[in-house]
Structure 1
Amino acid sequence: MTSKAQSGHGGGQVLPFRESLLAMLGVAFVSMLVALDQTVVGTALPTVVAELQGFEYYAWVATSYLLLSVITVPIFGRLGDYYGRKPFVLASIVVFSVASALCGMATSMPFLVAARGLQGIGGGMLVGTAFACIPDLFPDSHVRLRWQVLMSAAFGVANAVGPSLGGILTELYGWRAVFYVNLPVGALSLWFVWRYLPHLRQQAHSGPIRVDWLGALLIGVGLGGMQMSVELLPQRGVDWLTAGLLVAAVAALIGLWQWERRCANPILPLDMFRHPGVAPLFQLAVLVGFAMFALLIYAPLLLQGGFGYSPRDAGLLVTPLVVCITVGSIVNGRIITRIRHPNAMLFAGFAMLAAGCLALSQATRSMSHPLLLTIMLLAGFGLGFIMPNLTVFAQQTVGREHLGIATAMLQSLRMVGGMIGTAMVGTMVTRSYSAGVEHSLTTANALDWLSRMSDPQVLIDKAAQAGLLTELQQAGHNGALLLEQARVSLVTAIHLGLVIAAVAALVGLWRARRVPPVRLMRAGQQPAMAAE
């Protein structure tokens, strides 16, 4: 049955309080599913790579997820605008949960990368639809910010337990458990969304919808080709494959630009990229994604591979980073509606993020745990001050008819930044570490062990370390010294990557001045919505 949902309930919300609370609980569980996966997997990833043997795929475990999410977020953001978001949220939970089970059953790194790609499709559907449900339910930005505390609390629970849970599950039950933990959360999310989230859709739309599949394909070829060329360049140099991938990527992106200008329903609304209020926010989304994902992916590797911490200890140290993203979002929500210049929070966020990345780039094994925790806290608060404001500012700026696609584009571009950042930092880490190890082994006349030590997984896998030390000592080499030199090479490489992440945050600080002054006005008369 179809009935009109009024926007007057509680001042700026389309449903009464009880229905709004239950609907938001459904969205909160979905957000918890995504947040829990990101934080748990990050802590376990070094151990995963050590067991499945394939450090060259380390970055791809993250970037395959991001690449497929980048493609699917705008598609389902647009479809959600037209058909309503609930059916796509339900489908995304199923896809995400099935992919999580496949990740847990992976027998090789290519299998895991492929399963993470499928998980990225589900994650892209989730991000493109679930997060856009909130402005549907709460058109007034002030009301929306108050209700988003519930979302922040869900993120907080997932972020608080995620890193430690990932470390504990990895040590006690093996890394596969970190993927299987998504299944009960997915089941709870599925039931809550199906039972309580209303099916809201705009009445104004009628007729068939044409999805820009060619645009999606061109995005995949362009970003995927660029990603693969960056990944392969350190090992292969400039050859026919890397050059061909780069040429294909450039041609696809040029073709995408030309096609989107003529397409009736483009996957990339180019007018938004020219909008003076939204375009700067898109740029900041790319930059914050670059810094954030580089930090989330390589901080655990620094702690486990570089400093020799256990997965559990590394998880405890990373916890303040992800928890303070949520705490920062809650604090931001309390401040942003009470100050005359909301844009100031963007400046504060990027400054704190840059300071956190720079400080971590100077971290050493002897650094005290309280100081490491403080650095993580600083970076986490910075992210918490940036990400919710990008979304709220964009939603405040665009019209109602573009609300879903604008929200989706912000999430998608943040993933693009994350994909670029992970690829660039990963390539830099791999190349710098390999060069350092080769130099150490050459000096010690122990190049026979280069293939064994060129993969940082040996610094995490204790059994592999013991075997390698025995072989080196039997051959008359100081194995402990060579392993220590390898750790120093890895720390140096990751430090360099974190400096690049800090540069991205500093560029964001500089570009934030291009965001026009935002006033969080009360919502006026909103377009009618239909609830099914």
Structure 2
Amino acid sequence: MAVRTAAHHSSGQVLPFRESLLAMLGISFVSMLVALDQTVVGTALPTIVAELRGFELYAWVATSYLLASVITVPIFGRLGDYYGRKPFVIASIVVFTGASVLCGAANSMMFLVLARGLQGIGGGMLVGTAFACIPDLFPDSVVRLKWQVVMSSAFGIANAVGPSLGGFLTQYYGWRSVFYVNLPVGLLSLFFVWRYLPHLRHVAHKERMRLDWPGALLIAVTLGSLQLFVERLPAHGVTFSALGLLVLAAASGWALWQWERRCPQAILPVDMFRNASLNALFKLAVLGGFTMFSLLFYAPLLFQGGFGMTPNEAGMVITPLVVFITIGSIANGRVVSRIRNPNRMLYIGFGMLAFACFGVALATHNAPRSFLMALMIVGGIGLGFVMPNLTVFAQQTAGREHLGIATALLQSLRMIGGMFGTALTGTMVTQLYTSGVHKALDADHATHWFAQLADPQILINRDAQHVLIGELTKAGHNGALLLEAAREALVGAIHLGIALAAVIAVVSIWQTRRVPPIRLQRKVEPVIHAD
């Protein structure tokens, strides 16, 4: 494979406009692949469990994917820095698409869980390498922000249509089609990436990289045990096994830090964490993920279970959140490069996110739908201001040698923040809801029905509600009143969880003060073109 230095265009991009557009289309299809999978599968899960009969593995359909992807993101982010990203993007598309076919062919829940784990490896490779291709193509951060809108739009479209598409496919073509839909998107992305994405390397290494296997293993143990800990927390609370997982995560994390300090070719360069700007941005990624995922996961449950909306009505209220993330990203790309202090966009974004969360935490079932949708719009724009800027600022600060691992770490830390956010909020919701339900049933001497009301899903399933109300009424209890008490308990619990997310957003505003002023300079650095 010939290696030569690629000439930059005067506009701050490696390729001419047409080639840049086609390469970005390939990366955008890759991002759509990940976004579609995240939103489509959740809609089909109840149907999948009903057919494959494995409710005890319900959570593992999501957990196996998350666990595998969180582990592989930093590993392949680092490998992409050394060998160039194109080979790994191609491999990730093949793995992800092939695993999607296996998921669609699953004949048992265990088979599906294993196939989702393989799909998570492909997803982690995608996130760890594809997102870092954009600064490869556009070294000028100002130009990059404008082109990043293409991928943000693709991601936003996939997020917006995902839930509806998942419901449509499941209802009319069966749940297996939810996984098979990845096949045409995967083949399309593979064509564009193979044909138009250049193989670029920004660092010419004199000696061949030796993969840091101990570092990779310690990353896997640290993130894996942390993921398992936060997954168990909402359902089981603080148990000895959960604490054991937390201790294992802390011990392996400390061992990882010590090992990477001495490793000459560390897969996780610890010197990045000594950089004040990068350190502050990494913390903001964790905090931003905490708030974002808490809102995304529990606002729909509040609207359906707490406020009594139908799934379609709740979907209409939630849709502006994901749509306006894209619109906010587009607006951000036009504004941030024109203002003297780009850091202000982080203040504004986190401020809008905090406002939206506080608004949701104070909203009642009498709140107009238009008011709730307005809150979702504010939250979406806020996320559109925060997420792309964290990525671009980190890429600007990290330098070419650490560009891939910095981008990958940012994505991983945002997911870790999301894990903690959903786990802590979920634990609060579970404990407060069950406590409120038990108190209401105890006051009416109806604790015999606690098992039926203990799961908040009863507040969404209207057929099950009618059956339960009938049983309670037959036994001499006011079934409708007890169900309303359960609904109020759920609303209060989720309000507290979303309020915690709002407080974290306020903490993020304070943490933004620690980010040194970022200068989006127009500078061009040589790259190695290895086609």
What TM-score do you get using the length of structure 2 for normalisation? 0.91
> Hey, what's the Cα distance between the residues in 2 that align with 1:50 and 1:431?
27
- Residue 141 of structure 2 corresponds to 141
1:159-206 deviation per Cα after TM superposition (whole angstroms, max 9, x unaligned)? 332344345445655665544433332232222222222222346125
Does the 8 A contact of 2:202 with 2:400 survive in 1? no
- Residue 531 of structure 1 corresponds to 530
- Residue 499 of structure 2 corresponds to 499
Following TM superposition, by how much is the alpha carbon of 1:370 offset from its aligned partner in structure 2, in angstroms?
0.9
The one-letter code matched in structure 1 to 2:429 is: V
> Hey, what's the Cα distance between the residues in 2 that align with 1:506 and 1:179?
38
1:38–1:10 CA distance, 2 compared to 1 (3 A): farther
- Residue 434 of structure 1 corresponds to 434
> Hey, what's the Cα distance between the residues in 1 that align with 2:370 and 2:174?
29
Larger displacement relative to structure 2 (292-301 or 474-483): 474-483
Does the 8 A contact of 1:59 with 1:426 survive in 2? no
RMSD of aligned alpha carbons: 2.8
Following TM superposition, by how much is the alpha carbon of 1:483 offset from its aligned partner in structure 2, in angstroms?
2.3
Larger displacement relative to structure 2 (159-168 or 229-238): 229-238
1:236-293 deviation per Cα after TM superposition (whole angstroms, max 9, x unaligned)? 5655423322322222222222222222222322110110221111111111111111
> Hey, what's the Cα distance between the residues in 2 that align with 1:472 and 1:51?
30
Following TM superposition, by how much is the alpha carbon of 1:105 offset from its aligned partner in structure 2, in angstroms?
6.0
- The DSSP-based 3-state class of the residue aligned with 2:521 is coil
> Hey, what's the Cα distance between the residues in 1 that align with 2:133 and 2:430?
40
Following TM superposition, by how much is the alpha carbon of 1:455 offset from its aligned partner in structure 2, in angstroms?
1.4
> Hey, what's the Cα distance between the residues in 2 that align with 1:427 and 1:53?
26
Q: What does 1:113-512 correspond to in 2, within 5 Å?
A: 115-169=115-169, 177-202=177-202, 204-232=204-232, 239-512=239-512
1:384–1:393 CA distance, 2 compared to 1 (3 A): same
The one-letter code matched in structure 1 to 2:27 is: V
1:245–1:481 CA distance, 2 compared to 1 (3 A): same
Does the 8 A contact of 1:67 with 1:120 survive in 2? yes
Following TM superposition, by how much is the alpha carbon of 1:62 offset from its aligned partner in structure 2, in angstroms?
4.9
Task: Flag structure 1 segments of 5+ consecutive residues without an equivalent.
Answer: none
The one-letter code matched in structure 1 to 2:458 is: V
> Hey, what's the Cα distance between the residues in 2 that align with 1:378 and 1:130?
29
1:227–1:201 CA distance, 2 compared to 1 (3 A): closer
- Residue 90 of structure 1 corresponds to 90
> Hey, what's the Cα distance between the residues in 2 that align with 1:203 and 1:38?
33
The one-letter code matched in structure 2 to 1:363 is: A
1:531–1:364 CA distance, 2 compared to 1 (3 A): same
What TM-score do you get using the length of structure 1 for normalisation? 0.91
> Hey, what's the Cα distance between the residues in 2 that align with 1:418 and 1:87?
29
The one-letter code matched in structure 2 to 1:527 is: P
Does the 8 A contact of 2:201 with 2:527 survive in 1? no
Does the 8 A contact of 1:67 with 1:416 survive in 2? no
Does the 8 A contact of 2:234 with 2:426 survive in 1? no
> Hey, what's the Cα distance between the residues in 1 that align with 2:107 and 2:296?
25
Aligned pairs, how many? Answer: 531
Does the 8 A contact of 1:63 with 1:422 survive in 2? no
Does the 8 A contact of 1:65 with 1:121 survive in 2? yes
The one-letter code matched in structure 1 to 2:246 is: L
Does the 8 A contact of 2:198 with 2:529 survive in 1? no
1:505–1:88 CA distance, 2 compared to 1 (3 A): same
Does the 8 A contact of 1:227 with 1:423 survive in 2? no
Does the 8 A contact of 2:71 with 2:223 survive in 1? no
1:311–1:92 CA distance, 2 compared to 1 (3 A): farther
1:473–1:101 CA distance, 2 compared to 1 (3 A): farther
> Hey, what's the Cα distance between the residues in 2 that align with 1:397 and 1:97?
34
1:112–1:455 CA distance, 2 compared to 1 (3 A): farther
Following TM superposition, by how much is the alpha carbon of 1:436 offset from its aligned partner in structure 2, in angstroms?
1.7
Task: Flag structure 2 segments of 5+ consecutive residues without an equivalent.
Answer: none
Larger displacement relative to structure 2 (296-305 or 4-13): 4-13
1:157–1:233 CA distance, 2 compared to 1 (3 A): closer
> Hey, what's the Cα distance between the residues in 2 that align with 1:200 and 1:237?
47
Q: What does 1:20-35 correspond to in 2, within 5 Å?
A: 20-35=20-35
Larger displacement relative to structure 2 (250-259 or 403-412): 250-259
> Hey, what's the Cα distance between the residues in 2 that align with 1:183 and 1:448?
49
Does the 8 A contact of 2:357 with 2:499 survive in 1? yes
Following TM superposition, by how much is the alpha carbon of 1:211 offset from its aligned partner in structure 2, in angstroms?
2.5
1:389–1:499 CA distance, 2 compared to 1 (3 A): same
> Hey, what's the Cα distance between the residues in 2 that align with 1:70 and 1:315?
28
Does the 8 A contact of 2:233 with 2:423 survive in 1? no
> Hey, what's the Cα distance between the residues in 1 that align with 2:223 and 2:347?
29
1:440-467 deviation per Cα after TM superposition (whole angstroms, max 9, x unaligned)? 2222222222222211222223343343
Following TM superposition, by how much is the alpha carbon of 1:318 offset from its aligned partner in structure 2, in angstroms?
1.2
Larger displacement relative to structure 2 (127-136 or 360-369): 360-369
Following TM superposition, by how much is the alpha carbon of 1:479 offset from its aligned partner in structure 2, in angstroms?
2.4
Does the 8 A contact of 2:290 with 2:418 survive in 1? yes
1:66-95 deviation per Cα after TM superposition (whole angstroms, max 9, x unaligned)? 333221111101111111111211222233
- Residue 18 of structure 2 corresponds to 18
